Amino acid sequence: MIALTAAEIAAATGGRLHAVDDAVLVHGAVVTDSREVETGGLFVALPGEHVDGHDYAATAVAAGAALVLAARPVAGPAGDLPVVLVDDVERALGDLAREVLVRLREAALEPGGSELKVVGITGSVGKTTTKDLLAQLCGTAGPTIAPVRSFNNEIGLPLTVLRADETTRYLVLEMGASGPGHLTYLTDIAPPDVAVVLVVGQAHLGGFGGIEAVATAKSEIVQGLLPDGVAVLNADDQRVSAMAPLAPGDVVTFGSAPASDVRAADVVVDRAGRARFTIVTAGGSAPVELRLVGEHHVHNALAAAAAGLAVGLTLDDVAAGLSAADALSPHRMHVVDRPDGITVIDDSYNANPDSMRAALKALAVVAGRDRRSVAVLGEMLELGEGSREAHDALGTLVVRLNIGLTLVVGEGARGIRDGANREGSWGDEVLLADDLDAATRFLEQELRPGDVVLVKSSYGSGLWRLGDLLAAGGDAA
C-alpha cells in the first residue's frame, strides 16, 4: 500500500484514532490474517462467523503492525493497541481502498507518473482464468497487481487494490457477485477503465432468483465504468452483448461470431486438450498455442486478449503472452501426470453447470479412446430451485460423453447418478459414494495406470481435498 498516516486512514474510513498518534506512518501491507503481517502494516480486524479478527489484533501488533482497523478498542499486554475505530470494519476497508485508488490515479497524472489502467472482470464462469491470463499479459508490459486465488468479493477486492502503489501500471480485478448490487459496490470502490463480461450463466442462481436477474446484476460492472471506459463483451452470449447500450464509451466484442472484434479462427485441440488457433482482429491476426487444458479456455483467452488490446498492448504481444501463459490458481484445470501413469485433472475449486460441462468435455478429449476417463463429481452449490434438474442434466451428459467411470460424491450430488441411470447407464459405470472418505477408499482400489481422472465440484463440497490427495507426488504437466 502507499504510505499513509494514521490520521489519513481515519479520514478515509470515517473513523477516529484511539491510543495512537495521528502522525504514525503505515507503509506495509494491509492484511486480515495476523500471520501475514508486515512491519509497518495495517491489520484489519474483521469479525466473522467462526473467528473474530479483534481476538488476533494483539498478535498482529506484536508481529509489527503499526495500526489496527477495528470496531472496538482492543487491549494488548502493554495496554490499548493503536486503533482506528470505525462502525463497520468491512465497509471501512472498502472506503480505504477507494481513497488509495483515487490517490494513485491522481499521481498517475502528475509529470513522471506511471499511467494506471484498472480492468474489472466478471461472469458466471471463467473469471479467475481470464484474470490470470490478463495479469500475465499485462505483466510483460509493466508492474501489474492482480488478485491471489479468487479474491473477488467485498473483502478480497479492496485487499487487492491496496496492494497497488505508485509504480503500478495495471490493476487487474476479478469481480464476483452472488446477488444484486454486489458489483455496484465493487465498482464504486474501483471504477474500471475496462470492464469485461464473460458469460451470464447459472452460478449462484439461489442468490439471484433467475437467469435474467443474473444478467441484470452482471451489467452493473458496465454501468460502473469510468466515463470514457471500454466495455469488453462476449458476442456469443446474447445476454452479455445486450449490455452494450449501457456502456458509457466504446464497446469491444469477442467470441466465435464472425462480427466479433476479437475472434478465434482455425481452432484445433490436441490430444492433451490444449487449443491452438489464430486470433483475428481488424488490425491483423496472430497464432496462439494455449498451454491450458480445455477448449473452453479459447473463450477466456479471447476475453483476455480483447482486454489487453483495450489497455494498449499490441496484438503480437498479446498472442505471444497467451502462448506463454500458465494456469496460476490452484484447483482450476490443474493437470498432473503421476509416476504411476494416472493423469489427474483437478478442477475442484468451483463448479456450476457451465463449468461442469466444459470440464467433462475436456476429460473426454484428454482420455480419448485408448485411456479410461474417470469423473469424480461433487455437488454444485447455490443453484437454488433448479439444483436437482442441473445435476440430473450432468448425469445425462456423462453418458453421452461415454465417460468410463463416474463417481458421484455426497447426497447433494445424487441427481448426477439418477440422471445417468435415466439416460441409459447400466449402473456400474456411475456410482455414488456417501462421503469423501468413501470416495477416497474406492479410488485407491479402483484407479489403474492409464486412467485420466477429473475431480470437479463446488469448493464447499470439499472435493478439493481429494484433488490434493490424488495429485500428491505428481509433476505438473
pLDDT tens column, 400-431: 999 999 999 999 999 999 999 999 877 689 99
pLDDT of residue 424: 86
Domain 4-87 adopts which CATH fold? Answer: 3.40.1390
Distance of CA 263 to the CA centre of its chain: 23
pLDDT at 211: 87
Average pLDDT, the chain: 94
Question: Which letter, b or e, does each residue of 124-155 get, where b requires 16 or more Cβ atoms within 10 Å of its Cβ?
Answer: bbbbbbbbbbbbbbbbebbbbbbbeebbbbeb
pLDDT score for 60: 98
pLDDT exceeding 90 applies to what percent of the chain?
A: 87
Average pLDDT over residues 63-69: 98
Q: Which amino acid is at 212?
A: E
92: helix, strand or coil: helix
In this predicted structure, what is the pLDDT of residue 476?
A: 45
Is the pLDDT assigned to residue 187 strictly greater than 90?
yes
Alpha-carbon torsion 304, 307, 309, 312, what sign? negative
Question: How does residue 207 score in pLDDT terms, banded at 50, 70 and 90?
Answer: low
| Res 205: pLDDT | 55
CA torsion 189→191→197→200, rounded to 10°? 40
- Note the pLDDT of residue 204: 53
Hey, where are the domains in the chain?
A: 4-87, 92-324, 334-476
HSE of 351, CA atoms in CB hemisphere, 13 A: 30
Q: Tell me, what's the pLDDT at 266?
A: 97
Whether the predicted pLDDT of 208 surpasses 70: no
Per-residue pLDDT of 288-331, as tens digits, reads 999 999 999 999 999 999 999 999 999 999 999 999 999 888 88
Which segment of 256-265, 285-294, 384-393, 442-451 scores lowest on mean pLDDT? 384-393
Instruction: Look at residue 474 in the predicted model and tell me its pLDDT.
Output: 46
**Would you tell me how many other CB atoms lie within 10 Å of the CB of residue 79?**
7
What is the identity of the amino acid at 17? L
> 189 pLDDT exceeds 50?
yes
For residue 433, pLDDT over 50 is answered with yes
385/225: higher pLDDT: 225
Beta strands in 235-303, from DSSP E residues, in sequence order: 251-255, 262-269, 274-281, 284-293
Q: 206: pLDDT confidence band, cut at 50, 70 and 90?
A: low
Q: Identify the pLDDT of residue 50.
A: 87
Q: Is the pLDDT of residue 149 over 80?
A: no
State the average pLDDT over residues 445-449: 95
Mean pLDDT of 332-353: 93
Dihedral, CA atoms, 285, 125, 101, 21, nearest 10 degrees? -150
Question: What pLDDT, on a 0 to 100 scale, did the predictor assign at position 422?
Answer: 92
User: How sure is the predictor about 332, in pLDDT bands with cuts at 50, 70 and 90?
Assistant: confident
Answer for the pair 198, 127: CB distance below 8 angstroms, yes or no. Answer: yes
What is the spatial distance between Cα 105 and Cα 300, in angstroms, rounded to a whole number? 28
pLDDT of 369 above 60: yes
Amino acid 203: pLDDT: 57
Q: Where are the alpha helices (DSSP H) in 190-347?
A: 205-208, 211-218, 220-223, 238-241, 297-310, 315-324
Domain 334-476 of CATH type 3.50.50.60:
no
Q: What is the pTM of this model?
A: 0.92
Q: Tell me: the pLDDT tens digits for 216-267?
A: 999 999 999 999 999 999 999 999 999 999 999 999 999 999 999 999 999 9
Give CA–CA dist 222/177, Å, rounded.
14
Q: 4-87 with 92-324: one CATH topology?
A: no
Q: What is the pLDDT of residues 270-283, one digit of tens each?
A: 999 999 999 999 99
* 81 confidence band (pLDDT: 50, 70, 90): very high
Range 92-324 has CATH code 3.40.50.1010? no
Residue 105 near residue 92, CB atoms below 8 Å: no
pLDDT of residue 437: 96
Q: Please, which pLDDT band fits residue 384 given cuts at 50, 70 and 90?
A: confident
pLDDT reported for residue 280: 98
Using CA atoms, how far residue 114 sits from 104, 161, 184, 374, in Å, is 9, 16, 27, 50
What does the alpha-carbon distance between residue 144 and residue 137 come to, in Å, rounded to a whole number? 9
pLDDT over threshold 50, residue 84 = yes
